[in-house]
């Protein structure tokens, strides 16, 4: 069992929890994820790691209620426990492995949409801990939907909140804020964008036009989290990849977002899954070669 040491409601249907998981806390890095399961009847839910405390042995997760399983998860509080809490899974963010001297010469822009602020936070925090100031844009529909503001402001070089309704910060989408910063003279070597698929798609369309290499996290399309179900199958640079084992981070300019979003909708129905299995053949699931799902 994995005890919950802290549980908070951050916004409407968005919750944060600290979970006691010493082994995961000891080894995890920004960009990776865990799989949580509340009880025997619960669904396996992949969630990107929001933060970790190696000394305390805790891992922080943030999730949004989207169905029955996440609703049941939201009812848990401090003192309750997860039956399963598995990780760290996936590949760490690429910059973790880069030479620090080279990394410090690069100018980073992080862009988060909605709950995407949760996986962006540990990356920005890692940058600050290594002496690198970065710009951070976080967008939400309204001010009330912005999460982790104080935490993000504490680690970002410059923090730019955006709201669709103009109730707070920059009035408009994150893409219009990117354009404004560039128009005002900002230069970026790398953009990291995490959020809803449609947001990442349009950020990538813009950054490609601006000539800014962009990394995205495809955690939103994960279901099983092990490569066996095939839900996170995506085409990147013409090659078949699985977000949970090959990612979750990829070159955003190489991701076929239109295919991924269309496939995501089809995968929700039994008829759609049957069609995908028929048309995708051996690459429908297990084609990643890492999980044995094709045997």
Domain ranges of the chain: 2-89, 99-217
Residue 32, number of CB atoms within 10 A of its CB: 23
- Report, as an integer, the average pLDDT of 176-199: 95
Asked if pLDDT for residue 105 goes beyond 50, the answer is: yes
Q: Is 286 helix (H, G, I), strand (E, B) or coil?
A: coil
Asked if pLDDT for residue 98 goes beyond 90, the answer is: yes
Tell me how far CA of residue 266 lies from CA of 113, 130, 260, 277, 285, in angstroms: 24, 42, 10, 11, 15
What digits encode the pLDDT tens for the residues 117-146? Answer: 999 999 999 999 999 999 999 999 999 999
User: What's the pLDDT band for 246 if we cut at 50, 70, 90?
Assistant: confident
What digits encode the pLDDT tens for the residues 71-85? Answer: 989 999 999 999 999
Sheet with 108-113, side-by-side order of all strands: 170-171, 158-163, 135-140, 108-113, 190-194, 214-217, 249-251
Asked if pLDDT for residue 69 goes beyond 90, the answer is: no
Q: Are 2-89 and 99-217 in the same CATH fold?
A: no
Asked if pLDDT for residue 261 goes beyond 90, the answer is: no
CA 226 to chain centre: 16
Instruction: Give the fold, CATH level 3, of 2-89.
Output: Elongation Factor Tu (Ef-tu); domain 3 (2.40.30)
The residues, any chain, with a CB within 8 Å of residue 219's CB and separated by 6 or more, are 33, 46, 47, 48, 119, 194, 243, 248
Percent of the chain with pLDDT over 70: 86
Sign of CA dihedral 223, 91, 65, 161: negative
Q: What CATH code is assigned to 99-217?
A: 3.40.50.80
User: What's the pLDDT band for 288 if we cut at 50, 70, 90?
Assistant: very low
- C-alpha 205/C-alpha 175 separation (Å) is 10
- C-alpha 274/C-alpha 82 separation (Å) is 33
Percent of the chain with pLDDT over 90: 68
- Report, as an integer, the average pLDDT of 21-46: 91
What is the pLDDT of the chain when averaged over all its residues?
87
Asked if pLDDT for residue 53 goes beyond 50, the answer is: yes
């Amino acid at each position: 069992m994995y005890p919950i040491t802290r549980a908070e409601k951050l916004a409407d249907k968005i919750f944060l929890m600290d979970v006691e998981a010493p082994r995961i806390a000891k080894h995890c890095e920004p960009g990776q994820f865990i799989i949580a399961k509340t009880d025997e009847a619960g669904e396996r839910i992949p969630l990107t790691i929001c933060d970790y405390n190696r000394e305390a042995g805790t891992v922080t997760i943030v999730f949004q209620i989207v169905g029955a399983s996440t609703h049941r998860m939201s009812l848990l509080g401090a003192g309750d426990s997860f039956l399963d809490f598995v990780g760290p899974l996936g590949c760490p963010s690429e910059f973790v492995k880069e030479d620090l001297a080279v990394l410090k010469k690069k100018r980073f822009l992080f862009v988060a949409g909605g709950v995407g602020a949760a996986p962006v936070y540990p990356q920005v925090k890692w940058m600050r801990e290594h002496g690198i100031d970065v710009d951070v844009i976080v967008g939400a529909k309204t001010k009330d939907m912005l999460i982790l503001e104080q935490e993000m402001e504490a680690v970002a070089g410059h923090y730019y909140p955006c709201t669709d309704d103009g109730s707070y910060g920059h009035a408009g989408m994150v893409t219009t804020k990117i354009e404004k910063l560039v128009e005002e003279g900002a230069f970026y070597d790398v953009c990291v964008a995490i959020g809803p698929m449609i947001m990442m798609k349009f950020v990538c369309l813009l950054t490609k036009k601006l000539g800014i290499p962009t990394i995205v996290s495809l955690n939103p399309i994960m279901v099983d989290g092990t490569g066996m179900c095939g839900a996170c199958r995506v085409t990147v640079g013409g090659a078949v990849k699985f977000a949970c084992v090959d990612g979750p981070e990829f070159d955003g300019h190489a991701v076929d977002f239109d295919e991924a979003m269309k496939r995501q909708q089809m995968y929700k129905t039994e008829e759609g899954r049957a069609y995908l299995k028929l048309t995708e053949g051996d690459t429908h699931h297990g084609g990643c070669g890492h999980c044995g799902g094709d045997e």
